[in-house]
Amino acid sequence: MRLIRLLKNDLAKEISGWVEKDLISTEQARSICRLYDVDYDSIQNYSLGYRLLIGLGYLFIGLAVITLLGANWDEIPRALRMGGLLMLTLMTHGLAFKSYLTGRTSSAVGLFLLGNLFYGASIILIAQIYHLGEHMPDGIFWWALGSLPFGVLLKNSWLTLFSSLLAMLWFVLEFGMGFFPSLFPLFIVVSVYVLYKGPFSSILFLTTVASIGLWIEAVLSAVWAGERYDYTIHMEHLLVSVALFVWAYAVSGWLYAQSSHKAKDYGVLLSLWALRFGLVALFVFSFEGPWETLIESNWDQQRSMWLCVIVLLTASLWFAWQGRILQLLLPVAVFASLSMMAVVATEDRSAAVYFQIVYNIALIGTGIGLIVRGIHQGISHYFFLGVATILLTAFMRYIDLIGDYIGGAIMFMVLAAVLLCAAKYWKTHQGQGGTP
């Protein structure tokens, strides 16, 4: 997967500089941009920074108005309060619809965002006037739900992201109070629709992926709670999360194998973040403490946990086969499965050190693999990520030595040999015409 797909807008800007220097023609620039599904002409008009500044400008206008209303709230008559809030919300949305119908989409997005802020303020302040609703998450839910249609109408990622973040806040508060957020999948479905129909949005995509993971874990928590309204986190959630990340990496390969440029971009993005979280997990489990905690756990929900893990890993293998990355995913799936079975079956707390040693070896092996892949494929991100993984492993082991100092010195010598061999491989590959 080529990470340059995530920098295609920057590439288009760079290409425009080539055109100005007469290195390539405008038509050649358009042809290069078409390879990455970028409109060369539109990218020259307004950048993401411009749109972000406009959005933030509308956001602070809304905050200023809300602050002024809050400061003078007690002095305003009750009827005027309610009428003013409703009028302000309706007028802002009316202007947004007018901008949308006249083709000024960027202005419409900003006004809809401003209107959504006024809508949320209206819900909160009117509830205070009439002492409505003691269950605070309800207000956030209606705010998120009322803001949702405008993102769908414009197929705009920022408006949809606004509703999705509110929905996630509602989800956390509702779940924390012992209530199950049954309508949360509605926001996931809408986000997927906007991602499919609208322009590429990395933030909305990652938010949607996180929402799907939260929902799956919440369903498991509700099932494991039984008749009790006690949605607590179990150790079984951790193993399901590992299977979810394996599945996410498999889906990334499947997305990259699609013909759509946007699907390829999402595949690269998902692969990158799955890899990063995988490395973080390896770092966490390269210490003895987490394994001791896992070994001492009761594992009361093994049957449903293993069912979820088997389903997710089976789905992962299918997606990996479809995405032609089975040779990459299969070792990961096997290693994760063996680790899960071993830690659940182990009862001796002293065995944690063996898990620690295995995961340190896996961490170093992953670093070596990233270095080789980066050199072989000419992707500097993988190369430097692999180097950083090995160096950080060495630093962690310096702080928390495995065994005695002689063992630590031997390990550092091994890491030095790995880095020197990587340099030798780089030199050899470069001499054979590789792209380091």
The Cα-based distances of 85 to 99, 121, 130, 205, 369 in angstroms read 21, 8, 14, 33, 59
What is the 8-class DSSP label of residue 134? Answer: S
**Strand ranges (DSSP E) for 121-253?**
none
d(CA 255, CA 260): 9
> What's the whole-model pTM score?
0.81
Predicted local confidence at residue 67, as pLDDT: 73
Cβ atoms of 219 and 175 closer than 8 Å: no
Please report, in tens digits, the pLDDT of each residue of the chain (436 residues total): 455 555 566 666 677 777 777 777 777 777 777 776 666 666 555 555 666 666 677 677 767 776 766 666 666 666 776 777 788 888 888 988 998 888 888 788 888 988 888 888 888 777 766 655 667 788 899 999 999 999 999 999 999 999 999 999 999 998 888 888 889 999 999 999 999 998 888 999 999 999 999 999 999 988 888 766 566 778 899 999 999 999 999 999 999 999 888 899 899 999 999 999 999 999 999 888 999 999 998 888 889 999 999 999 999 999 999 999 999 899 999 999 999 999 999 989 889 999 998 998 899 889 888 888 887 777 777 888 888 888 888 777 766 655 556 666 776 777 777 777 777 766 776 555 444 4
Measure the CA angle with vertex 288, ends 310 and 231; round to 5°. Answer: 50
Per-residue pLDDT at 400: 64
- pLDDT at residue number 436: 46
pLDDT of residue 126: 74
Indicate the burial class of 406 (C-beta count within 10 angstroms; 0-12, 13-18, 19 or more): exposed
Write down the pLDDT at residue 109. 86
Among candidate residues 229, 223, 224, 218, the one with its CA nearest the CA of residue 188: 218
In angstroms, what CA-CA distances link 157 with 164, 167, 199, 220?
A: 10, 15, 7, 29
pLDDT of residue 340: 94
- Tell me the one-letter amino acid at 127: A
Tokens of 163: 């509703």
The two tokens of residue 139 are 């207000």
What pLDDT is recorded for position 435?
A: 46
* Helix, coil or strand: residue 233: coil
Task: Name the residue with tokens 């893990």.
Answer: 309
